[in-house]
Amino acid sequence: MVLITLALVAVSAAAQTAPDARALLQEVADAAQATKTWQVEGEIVFEARSDFSSNPSRKPFKLFKDGQRIRYEVSGPGAQTMIFDGGILWDYTPYDHAFSRRGAASGWMPVALYSSVVGLLPYATPAGRDRVGSQACDVVRVEAPRTLRTLCIDHKRKLVLRDRMETLSPPGVGGQVRTVQTITYLTIQRDIPIDAALFRFEPPPGATERPGVQVGSGVLHVGGGVTPLVLLSKTEPVYSEEARGAGVEGTVVLYIEVGPDGTATNIQVQRALGYGLDEKAIEAMRQWRFRPGVKDGQPVTAAATIEVTFRRFPPPSR
């Protein structure tokens, strides 16, 4: 009887000390708002698991932020440099030696370091404790249809250490595909001096410029009072037979505008792969659903840039 009583007391104490998930996310957002500069290193691991195979990929990145200005660098096979200089967003990829430019809002962030946590507040629940390396963290869980997002947060420093998004596709001929994207922030430095030259873009010699996107009328950008979009559900794109035969894989970058109903319109390819994959990415995007951006309490049409990644799988058995 004594042991049972002690166990009940221990459980009760643990329940009382568990942090409130919504309050924790709000603290993260408030701390980020007060931060002037960021220097971050981390990695993004993407994995698509089907009944036939699992094909993970790893993408190391660096992020520098000073006020509105941002520099985002990806190394490895999917190398990319994105620079927001306060007015123009520049996007350069070495594989095609090409760059693009477009207007962007000060709220733009290439990874969800903190920019999307406010939109998760109403749906967050505590999910225990975990570790990222040697650092203990509190887990916050956010569920939506076919989507599960978990964030591991250092409550003392008010930092997101790991952000994991898991999505399950609808059943199909080839079975269901579960995609998992995990962003791990390995080092985070705040309020340190950052060289202003990092936020100036100079096209490399011989680089060509991609055509710009056509922005619809009345479209807003996240930031400036517009809350971030929140992905609710996604449909995985179908891998084209042409691309499979050619052994092509990679990422299609789409410009989209998400209306108050949460659907994507005015979908345009910003970075193409060809071999029928661009069309497949657009087909899938038409079925994605978002929680729209909100301004002054009303849902609005907001622009976003989305990456759709293709990985090769063996064709389904017949």
Domain boundaries, the chain: 17-210, 213-318
246-276 pLDDT, tens per residue? 778 888 889 899 988 889 998 988 888 888 8
- Lowest mean pLDDT, pick from 10-24, 86-100, 212-226, 300-314: 10-24
Predicted confidence at residue 42, as pLDDT, reads 95
Predicted confidence at residue 89, as pLDDT, reads 84
Predicted confidence at residue 312, as pLDDT, reads 66
Position 178 confidence tier, pLDDT thresholds 50, 70, 90:
confident
Is residue 98 within 8 A of residue 207, CB to CB? The reply is yes
Residue 90 pairs in a beta bridge with 83, 101
Mean pLDDT of 191-211: 93
Predicted confidence at residue 245, as pLDDT, reads 78
Distance CA 312, CA 318 (A): 18
Mean pLDDT of 225-243: 82
User: Would you say residue 52 has pLDDT above 80?
Assistant: no
Residues 6+ apart with CB under 8 A from 243: 249, 273, 275, 276, 277, 310, 312
Mean pLDDT of 112-125: 77
Predicted confidence at residue 316, as pLDDT, reads 42
User: Would you say residue 202 has pLDDT above 90?
Assistant: yes
Predicted confidence at residue 1, as pLDDT, reads 39
Predicted confidence at residue 136, as pLDDT, reads 94
DSSP code, position 156: T
Distance CA 189, CA 99 (A): 29
Is residue 201 within 8 A of residue 83, CB to CB? The reply is yes
Predicted confidence at residue 105, as pLDDT, reads 59
Class of domain 17-210: mainly beta
Closest among 170, 174, 171, 259 to 217, alpha carbons compared:
259
3-state SS assignment for residue 83 = strand
- Lowest mean pLDDT, pick from 37-46, 151-160, 167-176, 215-224: 167-176
Predicted confidence at residue 169, as pLDDT, reads 66
Q: Is 171 exposed, middle or buried (CB count within 10 Å of its CB: 0-12, 13-18, 19+)?
A: exposed
Q: Kindly report the pTM of this predicted structure.
A: 0.68
More confident residue, 105 or 153: 153
* Residue found by looking up tokens 């903190």 in the block: 114
Predicted confidence at residue 120, as pLDDT, reads 80
The pLDDT > 90 percentage for the chain reads: 30
Residue 268 tokens read as 């345009």
* Residue found by looking up tokens 């701390």 in the block: 31
Please report, as a single letter, which amino acid is at residue 94: P
| Ramachandran quadrant class, 21 (left: phi over 0; alpha: psi -120 to 50; beta: rest) | alpha
Is residue 90 within 8 A of residue 82, CB to CB? The reply is yes
- Domain spanning 213-318: CATH superfamily: TonB (3.30.2420.10)
3-state SS assignment for residue 138 = strand
Distance CA 99, CA 84 (A): 13
User: Would you say residue 104 has pLDDT above 60?
Assistant: yes
